[in-house]
Amino acid sequence: MTDLILTTYDWVPKLPRGLVRDLRVRWALEEARLPYRVESTPFRDRGPAHFAAQPFGQIPWLTDGDLTIFESGAILLHLAEKSPALMPTDPRGRAEVLEWVIAALNSVDLPSQPWALFRFMGFPGEAPEAKFVDDFLKSRLDRMETVLAGREWLVGDRFSVADLLMADVMRQVERFDGLANHLACRGYVKRLVARPAFVKAYNDQMAHFAAADAA
Amino acid sequence: MTDLILTTYDWVPKLPRGLVRDLRVRWALEEARLPYRVESTPFRDRGPAHFAAQPFGQIPWLTDGDLTIFESGAILLHLAEKSPALMPTDPRGRAEVLEWVIAALNSVDLPSQPWALFRFMGFPGEAPEAKFVDDFLKSRLDRMETVLAGREWLVGDRFSVADLLMADVMRQVERFDGLANHLACRGYVKRLVARPAFVKAYNDQMAHFAAADAA
């Protein structure tokens, strides 16, 4: 098997480290024990080759033989096809992973990403737009709280890439203490990030960017 | 083949009609010429059966035999497996549809949905949070403008469910005249909504909710 190649930035500022989106792909690769290597693309000078691989000028992208895939959510679903560690193989399990992966991206990340970005930016939070996003996120977390109070995993009785992604989306909320009133969500994230594959992925991302500081 | 069953609300207020998310599923079903029927769930009283089918208490969901799938993005990818009208069957075409479907949901809808909701709500738009979302959306549309200026379709030389979803996401921006400075995006949406399958889906949604007004 050709090694998979994960491309991320060569460097990022300290603040987003530990939340850069190559982490969720590293995590999935570690869970699946798929061989891979990491390559870098410049953070500061994003040239035509970058935009050819990732039309929004972001990272990560994954090279798999002659395929190059962008969007971390798409990469996770692509990897899930390669490993039963990431997704069950029966039709119901596959459909449930798919719906929860999309739910993480379009129902939970959709309010949580603006919510977290507003806090990264240090905005005052008094505007009706700020309160709308607060309420939007709360409504989704309230629903996830009910879901996660009743079960350990989103799909069946096992870990899947749906949990990996949902927990990674919720981590950006937890970073700003946004799960204080959603204890089932908080416990879920805590359980997921205790997995050895997450710990390795996290440490590897931090070491990758720290190495660039030292260079 | 068992008919597919698409569930949407029995009624919604006038303002969101034409943008309710069963429309994109109707559109895909029409493009693929798959047999289906539409069922309703109460908009006003969302009970346990609703939350069992759709954990966020939203619509649509699709029933396919003994599977029930929520999240419109997941439903579209599920349907794409059934019809080459929605997705090419080669590995590269499949990977490209997947990445662009996720891009529509997590890179374009992520800023465009808050942007459109702020306008639905009639917020003043002067707060730093409002301007941040404006800039966030603009940055993504700028990139889509470059992509769409160079090609007619997102995947290969043909329509796919990636175009259906990207155009449907951009429609909520266009509704508030948000594509005035992105003419390739505007032309793309205009071309997509001229397809007979979109026109039928749109008219069917409008008729569905109008029938509830009359009842």
Q: Count of CB contacts below 8 A, A vs B? A: 148
- Could you identify the residue written with the tokens 């992604």? A165
pLDDT at B215 (0 to 100)? 80
How would residue B214 be classed by pLDDT, with cut points 50, 70 and 90?
confident
pLDDT at B1 (0 to 100)? 58
CATH homologous superfamily for B4-85+197-214? Glutaredoxin (3.40.30.10)
Paired sense of beta strands A67-70 and A61-64, if any = antiparallel
Residue A64 has φ and ψ, to the nearest 5°, of -130, 95
CB contact under 8 A, A147 and B67: no
Q: B128 and chain A: CB distance < 8 Å anywhere?
A: yes
Mean pLDDT in residue range A17-25: 98
- Spell out which residues of chain A touch residue B110, defining contact as CB-CB under 8 Å: 106, 109-110, 113-114
- Spell out which residues of chain A touch residue B128, defining contact as CB-CB under 8 Å: 121, 123-124, 127
Tokens of B207: 């008729």
- Cis peptide before B60, with omega less than 30 degrees from 0? yes
Q: Chain A: residue nearest B116 by CA?
A: A129
- Largest Cα–Cα distance in chain A? 54
pLDDT at B144 (0 to 100)? 98
Mean pLDDT in residue range A99-117: 98
User: End-to-end CA distance of chain B, in Å?
Assistant: 32
pLDDT in tens, A24-35: 999 999 999 999
Q: Nearest CA to CA, how far is B214 from chain A (Å)? A: 32
Mean pLDDT in residue range A147-161: 96
Please tell me if the domain spanning B4-85+197-214 has the same topology as the one spanning B91-194.
no
ipTM higher than the 0.85 cut: yes
Is residue B101 within 8 A of residue B162, CB to CB? The reply is: yes
Q: A161 and chain B: CB distance < 8 Å anywhere?
A: no
User: Of B106, B130, B144, which has the smallest distance from its Cβ to A73's Cβ?
Assistant: B106
d(CA B12, CA B58): 12
Q: Is residue A2's pLDDT more than 80?
A: no
CATH of domain B91-194: 1.20.1050.10
pLDDT in tens, B20-77: 999 999 999 999 999 999 999 999 999 999 999 999 999 999 999 999 999 999 999 9
SS3 A136: helix
Average pLDDT of chain B is 97
The H-or-E segment that residue B89 falls in is: none
Choose the mutation target among A106, A134, A146, A166 for the interface with B, i.e. most B CBs under 10 Å: A106
User: Of B98, B109, B143, which has the smallest distance from its Cβ to A77's Cβ?
Assistant: B98
Whether the model pTM is above 0.95: yes
- Compute the residue count for chain B: 215
Q: A184 and chain B: CB distance < 8 Å anywhere?
A: no
Q: Is residue A78's pLDDT more than 60?
A: yes
Sheet holding A67-70, edge to edge: A36-41, A4-9, A61-64, A67-70
Helix then strand count (H, E) for chain B reads 9, 4
User: Of B73, B92, B130, which has the smallest distance from its Cβ to A102's Cβ?
Assistant: B73
Question: For helices B161-174 and B183-193, what crossing angle results, to 10°?
Answer: 120
pLDDT in tens, A155-182: 999 999 999 999 999 999 999 999 999 9
Average pLDDT of chain A is 97
Q: Which fold has domain A91-195?
A: Glutathione S-transferase Yfyf (Class Pi); Chain A, domain 2 (1.20.1050)
Mean pLDDT in residue range A65-73: 97
d(CA B40, CA B27): 17
- Could you identify the residue written with the tokens 């350990």? A152
User: Of A163, A116, A164, which is closest to residue A16 (Cα–Cα)?
Assistant: A116
Q: What share of chain B is helix, strand, coil (3-state, %, to 5)?
A: 55, 10, 35
pLDDT at A1 (0 to 100)? 57
**CA B173, B175, B177, B179 torsion-angle sign:** positive
Q: B110 and chain A: CB distance < 8 Å anywhere?
A: yes
Higher-pLDDT residue of B96, A150: B96
Interfacial B residues in 80-99 facing A (CB < 8 Å): 91-92, 95, 98-99
pLDDT in tens, A32-50: 999 999 999 999 999 999 9
CB contact under 8 A, A127 and B132: no
CB contact under 8 A, B92 and A67: yes
Tokens of A191: 């359980």
Question: Domain extents for chain B?
Answer: 4-85+197-214, 91-194
Tokens of A125: 């939070």
Paired sense of beta strands B61-64 and B4-9, if any = antiparallel
The H-or-E segment that residue B12 falls in is: none
Q: Is residue B175's pLDDT more than 90?
A: yes
- Compute the residue count for chain A: 215
